[in-house]
Amino acid sequence: MRSIVAILIGLTLACSGKKKDEAGTASGSGSGSAVVTPTGGSGPASCPPGNVVKDGACVAVITPDKVAVVSQQQTRLDELAKLLDKVETLGAPIELLNGVIQLEEWKKFAASSDELKALDKVIVVLADAVKQLREFKGGLGESAQRLGNLKGELDRIMTDTGTAKQLAEVRAQVSAQVRTAIEPLATQVLDAIQKGIAPLIKDLEETSDLILGACVLAKRTGGDQVKSMCTSAKELFAKGLAFLEEVKTKPAMLFDDVTKQLTAQLDTLIDDQTKALLGTAQTKVNEALKLPAGGAGSGSAGSGSAAGSASK
């Protein structure tokens, strides 16, 4: 009897041990498949669209709203370029002046005035300034295209359902796109302010006063061509000055808004080097508004006006 009992107890213990081993194996296998994903220890193998892997977990970094903000900045560059379609409003009075100073009757009239004799030099400065704004208009189109490339990169990441990407990898890609878009834009804005807007602010109104004052006298003694051109000058200068007033603060304000929006919306995806670049560029743009205006002669009253208007 004791032998039979011992055998039964032994069989019971053996079965119990086998079940525990099986349960343990099953439990270990199930736990591993639920928690550990074969990624080489770097985090999950896949993440929802718009997410990247940060500290071993999926983190949302791109949303439709963020992409929309980038698209809005692209649109704003296009809008400023469209406004600059009217840059010939500034070119028209300068072209007229070029015609006036070539007239023999005007040369005789201007011979007694050092200011009028120096008008040809001022015209060159103004013409170069208008040319700079034309170039700025073309550059805005290129910068808008680069922002479009940035938007495309964000769209791709936001809809990507493939292998999860590490934050550092995506940050490097996005930062490169931001630098490619903003570095040329910063240069374009600085040139537009320093070589275009500042000389125009300084010299265009002064030249308008000079030429219109001279025209009052020229109409009394000049021929029909001078009288005709002087009649046109008043209207052309008024339109040119009105357009300059409209556009003079736009480049600096636009650059400020674009950089702030990109930094705010893509903060996680912009590396420290790129943030420093944006900050340095913005500082240079702000400083440009404080510089004495370029162009013929000396003085910075026009520049001060531009800086004051832009800071409001």
| pLDDT (tens digit per residue) in 206-261 | 998 888 888 777 666 666 777 778 888 889 999 999 999 999 999 999 999 999 99
Q: Would 11 be classed as within a structural domain?
A: no
User: How do residues 59-81 score in pLDDT, each as one tens digit?
Assistant: 999 999 999 999 999 999 999 99
Which two structure tokens, joined as six digits, stand for 151? Answer: 């938007």
Per the model's pLDDT, the better-predicted residue between 107 and 23 turns out to be 107
Task: Express as a percent the part of the chain with pLDDT over 90.
Answer: 54
Which two structure tokens, joined as six digits, stand for 188? Answer: 């374009």
Which two structure tokens, joined as six digits, stand for 9? Answer: 């107890």
DSSP state of 266: T
Q: Would 108 be classed as within a structural domain?
A: yes
Q: Would 5 be classed as within a structural domain?
A: no
Report pLDDT for 227.
76
Report pLDDT for 222.
60
Q: Would 48 be classed as within a structural domain?
A: no
Q: What is the mean pLDDT of the chain?
A: 80
Q: Name the residue range of residue 144's domain.
A: 56-311
Report pLDDT for 44.
86
Q: Would 15 be classed as within a structural domain?
A: no
pTM of the entire predicted model: 0.75
Q: Would 25 be classed as within a structural domain?
A: no
Q: Would 18 be classed as within a structural domain?
A: no
The partner residues of 51 in beta bridges, in order of sequence, read 60
Q: Which residues contact 304 (CB under 8 A, 6 or more apart)?
A: none
CA atoms within 13 A on the CB side of 140: 28
Q: How far is CA 104 from CA 58, 109, 217, 228, in A?
A: 78, 9, 16, 15
Q: What is the DSSP string of 13-76?
A: HHHHHHHHHHHHHHHHHHHHHHH--SSTTSS-SB--TTEEEETTEEEE---HHHHHHHHHHHHH
Arithmetic mean of pLDDT, 173-196: 95
Alpha carbons 115 and 230: distance in angstroms, whole number? 17
- Total domains in the chain come to 1
Q: Band of the pLDDT at 309, cuts 50, 70, 90? A: very low
Q: Among candidates 253, 299, 296, which has minimal Cα distance to 120?
A: 296
Which range among 15-24, 99-108, 125-134 shows the weakest confidence by mean pLDDT?
15-24
Q: How far is CA 211 from CA 35, 46, 93, 98, 295, in A?
A: 82, 71, 10, 12, 17
Q: Would 252 be classed as within a structural domain?
A: yes
